[in-house]
A = this chain, B = another copy of it.
Amino acid sequence: MSIDLYDAMSTLRAVRRLRPDPIPDAVLERVLQAACWAPTGGNQQPWKVLVITDPERKAGLKEIYKAEWDPYVVNFLERVAGTPGEEQWRKVADSGNYLAEHLHETPAILLFLANPAFMAITDAKLDRISMVGGGSVYPAVQNAMLACVAEGLGCTLTTLHCFREDEVKELLGIPDGWATVGMVPIGYPLLKGHGPITRKPPSVMAARDNFDGSWP
């Protein structure tokens, strides 16, 4: 499938309502190939992706995910109540509820793993939470999600399962040393799928030369 780079990026939004229709392996292969093309520190590719299509394992992931989602969404709705964006956030919560209810029917769930033993994590010893390890796996996740746009597949990145990482690792035979850093349910969209997004632009997100600088 062919799509312009900027068209893919500017329409990649969270698609949480997915049809159960299976995804051909040839299509999944292109999504996985996109992930494999991503750069990693020292070209080590210190990650792995599990493609979960087995009904029992999907059901297991659904139980794990829903156990975290249900209390999360209650708290989320309390936080947004009365705020200017409440209506929009309620729609997000609705689609999140749909995902949590139907995760086991998603045709494929990509679970991205990473192994810090194969990474040089330069911020590991700083007096703040480390993030640099993510630099050798989330580019692959982003490539996979952009490929989903090209292939007409809905998707979204979730990390709630991390609260129950031990259960996920048990379910999928993931050995010690491997971390579970992203779950990406993918499938053909039930509704419109990817489309225009609203994000803060460079004039807000960028600064020239100094933190307090302006762009452009």
Chain A's interface: helix, strand, loop or mixed, by majority? mixed
A198 CB, min distance to chain B CBs, angstroms:
8
Query: Given A3-B5, A142-B138, A142-B142, do A200 and B36 touch, yes or no (CB 8 Å)?
Result: yes
Cβ of A48 under 8 Å from chain B: yes
Q: Is the CB of B173 within 8 A of A53?
A: no
Cβ of A190 under 8 Å from chain B: no
Cα A10 to Cα B142 in complex, Å, equals 14
A1-21 interface (Cβ within 8 A of B): 2-6, 8-10, 12-14
Q: Is the CB of A205 within 8 A of B32?
A: yes
Q: Is the CB of A215 within 8 A of B5?
A: no
Partner of A179, one of B123, B142, B145: B123
Cβ of A34 under 8 Å from chain B: yes
Interface readout for A133-161 with B: 1 if CB under 8 Å, 0 if not?
Answer: 11101110111011101100000110111
Residues in B whose Cβ lies below 8 Å from that of A147: 5-6, 9
Binding site for B on A (CB under 8 A): 2-6, 8-10, 12-14, 25, 28-30, 32-39, 41, 43, 45, 47-54, 57, 113-114, 116, 121-124, 126, 128-135, 137-139, 141-143, 145-147, 149-150, 156-157, 159-163, 165, 172-175, 178-179, 181-182, 197, 199-202, 205-213, 215-216
